[in-house]
Amino acid sequence: MKTVAFYTLGCKVNQYETEAMGELFQKSGYEIVDSESRSDVYVINTCTVTNLGDRKSRQFIRRSKKINPEAIIAVVGCYAQTSPDEVLSIEGVNIILGTNDRNKIVEYVENIQADHEKINAVEDIMQIKEFEEMTIGEIKGKTRAFLKIQEGCNQYCTYCIIPYARGPIRSRKLEDIIKEVERLAENQFKEVVLTGIHVASYGKDLKDTSLLDVIRGAHKIDGIERIRLSSIEPTVATEDFIQEISKLKKVCPHFHLSLQSGCNETLKRMNRKYTAEEYKEIVERLRRYMPDLSITTDVMVGFPGETDEEFDSTYNFVKEIGFSQIHVFKYSPRKGTPAAKYKNQVPSEIKNKRSEKLLQLAQESAIKYNERFIGRTKSVLFETSSDSLDGYFEGLTDNYIRVFCKAHEQVEGRLINVSLDELHGESMIGHLKDEA
Ligand code: SF4
Domain ranges of the chain: 3-123, 144-371, 377-435
Classified by CATH at the fold level, domain 144-371 comes out as: pyruvate-formate lyase- activating enzyme (3.80.30)
Res 333 pLDDT > 90: yes
Best CATH choice for the domain 3-123 from the list 2.60.40.10, 3.30.565.10, 3.40.50.12160, 3.40.50.1000? 3.40.50.12160
Q: φ and ψ at 224, to 5 degrees?
A: -85, 120
Res 415 pLDDT > 90: yes
Give yes or no for residue 157 CB within 6 A of ligand 1: yes
Q: What is the pLDDT of residue 246?
A: 92
Give yes or no for residue 272 CB within 6 A of ligand 1: no
Q: What is the pLDDT of residue 140?
A: 58
Q: What is the pLDDT of residue 141?
A: 58
pLDDT average, residue stretch 171-184: 96
**In whole angstroms, what is the distance from residue 436 CA to residue 418 CA?**
9
Q: What is the CA radius of gyration of the chain?
A: 22
* Cβ neighbours for 323, distance < 8 A, ≥ 6 positions apart: 295, 296, 297, 362, 365, 366, 369
Give yes or no for residue 267 CB within 6 A of ligand 1: no
- The percent of residues above 70 in pLDDT, for the chain, comes to 98
Res 231 pLDDT > 90: no
Say if CB 318 and CB 326 are below 8 A apart.
Answer: yes
* For ligand 1, atom 4: residue with the closest CA: 198
Choose which residue among 50, 153, 197, 331 to substitute to test ligand 1 binding: the one with the highest number of ligand atoms within 8 A of its C-beta: 153
Question: Could you give the strand order of the β-sheet that contains 294-301, starting from the edge strand earlier in sequence?
Answer: 170-171, 144-151, 191-196, 226-232, 251-257, 294-301, 325-330
* For ligand 1, atom 8: residue with the closest CA: 160
pLDDT average, residue stretch 146-155: 95
Give domain 377-435's CATH superfamily.
Nucleic acid-binding proteins (2.40.50.140)
Q: What is the pLDDT of residue 321?
A: 97
Q: What is the pLDDT of residue 138?
A: 66
Res 436 pLDDT > 80: no
Choose which residue among 47, 48, 162, 337 to substitute to test ligand 1 binding: the one with the highest number of ligand atoms within 8 A of its C-beta: 162
Choose which residue among 81, 125, 160, 299 to substitute to test ligand 1 binding: the one with the highest number of ligand atoms within 8 A of its C-beta: 160
pLDDT digits (tens, 9 = 90+) for 77-112: 999 999 999 998 888 899 999 999 999 999 999 988
Measure 317 CA to ligand 1 centroid, in angstroms: 21
